[in-house]
Chains A and B, each alone.
Chain A
Amino acid sequence: MRAADAIVKALEYEGVEHIFGIPGGAIIEVYDALYDSNIEHILTRHEQAAVHAADGYARATGKTGVAFATSGPGATNTVTGIATAYMDSSPLVVMTGQVPRSMIGNDAFQEADTTGITMPITKHNYLVTDEKELLKTVREAFHIASTGRPGPVLIDLPKDVTVADVEFNYPVEIELPGYKPKLKGHPKQIRKAAELIVKSERPIILAGGGVILSNACEELRKLAEAIPAFVVTTLMGKGSIPETHPLSLGFIGMHGSKYANYAVMDSDLIIAVGCRFSDRTTGKVSEFAPEAKIIHIDVDPAEIGKNVRVDVPIVGDAKLVLSELVKYVKYKQRKEWEEKVNSWREKYPLKYKQEGDVIKPQYVIEKIYELKPDAIVATEVGQNQMWAAQFFKVERARQFISSGGLGTMGFGFPAAMGAQVAFPDKTVVDIAGDGSFMMNIQELATCVDYGIPVKVCILNNMFLGMVRQWQELFYDERYSETCLRCKEMSFERIAKGFGAVGMTVEKPSEVEDALKEAFEIDAPVVIDFRVERLENVYPMVPAGASLREIIDEEY
């Protein structure tokens, strides 16, 4: 069988239903094989968007996302997408074309050292140099991408390999002597953790994206209720517990609420699950939760002790460990602590004021939440992302899709597109910034082409808003190259030019109706909300400061 056909057949065996990509000379054989397959391929308009879409698809479903690109520029265009997935541990298999084996190293037309370039941003990558290794490679790639701590895996396919004749026997056995993720937590460590929990007077659970990746949300909630302990999350952990749950305090970190940050800082025990203590979450790490002992549960041993000192490390899969841990926990009322946290919650709510006739960006998000609390929400990066995180109460895992680790502008829209492909009947919203949306705006063509009815809500402040905010607060309002004002430009007309629906909304009173109308339309819609240009995201912990130094705006 032609190797290209074997690849497509292997993908079918792996349960792949959708692929995002763009063809080219080096990968044309694989596309030829795809022509006869039932797998649906979505032709994006940029390879970066193909990878983001596959990533959004993976984040929304839990399945491994798949993206294709050709050699050289096709492959280099995937780099931002791969790095984004890598930072957020999203399972992807990316296949790239490569020049024929005999030409590798000759600087042939459209040759790039794809495996070299992507080495530090993939969980693993392969250059297939022997067609006999091909199917084994595909099997391994899917296995590695989706197990342990998930992540992107790239397979580089020299063109002559894809036309070689191979025997199809699949699935092939996996033989990876150096890859055996440890999933079961050490019983002794689990008991030690339980002891700390029982003793603790001010316990708090810190849930990261790993809870969602390991489908451990139910176990997490049960543990929280059994202790009982308040739950804070990282940005990536949003959805690991319903944010309407009485024990949920929302997310912590640079733009987390005051009460969530105070609660972590005052705790005497942090039960951290599937998180990596990034600087955006911990603030100044040497002053992070000074009185707290830390239990750290993670499937990746390298994360434990990397950024903070840990008292009880537990290497293992969150779901397995939590379901064990809960057995040893005894319910204990901690009245004083509960009252303290609840009084903070009352005293320092997340707030903004919608007054006058200019739309506040937060207001748009609150309205989206009111109308479609069940929507899948993707965000871009910047102020829009932080307001979305603050004001959209996420109910379940895989509902909130955002580039946390890399902070990639241009991620949200194609990621929303990928999520919508997975769930054609759900409402999928991209909460966008005007700057970020422009970075993958070409995907409007894909959405129109395939009838992918993503709703893009641009919080248009005509600024690279988050950078402008830093300039306002820390650089004497010297707005160096952050103004995006362009009088003649209209996102509404751009959307219409692509054949999508476009709207412009300028008054607070029109926000709700516009959203209602958009949610009724079974087609891609772009709403350009002209919002208050100088609105800032508060509260805020200045970069490098302790979480205690959180600042708020006076109203």
Chain B
Amino acid sequence: MIELKKVIAVLVENKPGVLARVSSLFRRRGFNIDSLAVGTTDREDVSRMTIVVRGDEKTVEQVIKQLNKLIEVIKVSDLSENSVSRILALIKVSATTENRGEIIEIANIFRARIVDVARDSLIIEITGDEEKINAFTNLMRQYGIKEFVRTGIISMARGSKVVEVR
């Protein structure tokens, strides 16, 4: 079976317990979540989740169908193709007077920003898709990553396609 990685946008009613319902569903049905990001939309009563799932075609189809069955789920869209995906990561890297310039140079190439400077470390903020974040993270390893945090993926379809409440 071919394993797929799908990015799914889920519009839900902004009510307590919705996240628990979604995660309970994934656990119960044995679906794997790679990444999850949640936040309200421009409408206060609607939240949007971006979920990255892994599984074969049939599993992914079930994920979408089962999500649709939840009463508080308004809309489920597959954004795996032709969409913009972003992750935000904060990386605290060891830095000495000798290599600080070098690190900043690499950060600039990646259009990352230095958001904090201390005597022996830097915090770098970077946004991008998974590949870019991974590439940058790998480059930073040589200097010593002291701390790493990233958000889940958020995604939006390119062009005129819109995920909205009808």
A binding-site residues for B, Cβ under 8 Å: 115-116, 119-120, 123-124, 127, 129, 144, 176-179, 300-302, 305-306
Inter-chain contacts of B21 with A (CB < 8 A): 119
Inter-chain contacts of A306 with B (CB < 8 A): 62
13 extra interchain contacts, Cβ-Cβ under 8 A, other than A120-B24, A120-B25, A178-B70? Answer: A115-B17, A123-B71, A129-B16, A177-B13, A177-B165, A178-B12, A178-B74, A300-B69, A301-B65, A301-B68, A302-B62, A302-B66, A306-B62
Inter-chain contacts of B61 with A (CB < 8 A): 305
B71 interface neighbour in A115, A179, A300, A301, Cβ under 8 Å: A179
Q: Within the assembled complex, what's the spacing in Å between the Cα atoms of A58 and B58?
A: 34
A302 interface neighbour in B69, B73, B74, Cβ under 8 Å: B69
Mark B20-36 against chain A: 1 for CB-CB distance below 8 A, else 0.
Answer: 11001100100000000
- Tell me if B78 is interfacial: C-beta within 8 Å of chain A: no
- Tell me if B72 is interfacial: C-beta within 8 Å of chain A: yes
Smallest CB gap from B12: residue in A: A178
> Which parts of B73-110 form the interface with A (CB within 8 Å)?
73-75
**Does A178 lie within 8 Å of B24, measured CB to CB?**
no
Inter-chain contacts of B71 with A (CB < 8 A): 123-124, 144, 176, 178-179
A116 interface neighbour in B13, B20, B28, Cβ under 8 Å: B20
B65 interface neighbour in A119, A144, A302, Cβ under 8 Å: A302
Q: Within the assembled complex, what's the spacing in Å between the Cα atoms of A119 and B20?
A: 9
Q: Within the assembled complex, what's the spacing in Å between the Cα atoms of A302 and B61?
A: 9
**Does B58 lie within 8 Å of A127, measured CB to CB?**
no
A-B contact pairs, 10 of them (CB 8 A): A115-B17, A116-B20, A124-B71, A177-B13, A177-B165, A178-B70, A178-B72, A178-B75, A302-B65, A302-B69
**Does A305 lie within 8 Å of B58, measured CB to CB?**
yes
Inter-chain contacts of B65 with A (CB < 8 A): 301-302
Q: Within the assembled complex, what's the spacing in Å between the Cα atoms of A178 and B12?
A: 8
**Does A119 lie within 8 Å of B24, measured CB to CB?**
yes
Smallest CB gap from B75: residue in A: A178
- Give 6 nearest A-B pairs by CB, closest first: A302-B65, A178-B74, A124-B71, A177-B74, A178-B73, A179-B71
Q: Within the assembled complex, what's the spacing in Å between the Cα atoms of A124 and B165?
A: 21
Q: Within the assembled complex, what's the spacing in Å between the Cα atoms of A177 and B164?
A: 12
Q: Within the assembled complex, what's the spacing in Å between the Cα atoms of A179 and B73?
A: 8
Inter-chain contacts of A178 with B (CB < 8 A): 12-13, 70-75
Smallest CB gap from B45: residue in A: A177
Q: Within the assembled complex, what's the spacing in Å between the Cα atoms of A115 and B18?
A: 12
A130 to chain B, nearest CB (A): 11
Smallest CB gap from A175: residue in B: B13
Inter-chain contacts of A116 with B (CB < 8 A): 20
Q: Within the assembled complex, what's the spacing in Å between the Cα atoms of A119 and B25?
A: 9
Inter-chain contacts of B66 with A (CB < 8 A): 302
Inter-chain contacts of A120 with B (CB < 8 A): 24-25, 28
A316 to chain B, nearest CB (A): 15
Inter-chain contacts of B58 with A (CB < 8 A): 305
Inter-chain contacts of B16 with A (CB < 8 A): 129
Smallest CB gap from A119: residue in B: B24
Q: Within the assembled complex, what's the spacing in Å between the Cα atoms of A127 and B20?
A: 13
Inter-chain contacts of A302 with B (CB < 8 A): 62, 65-66, 68-69
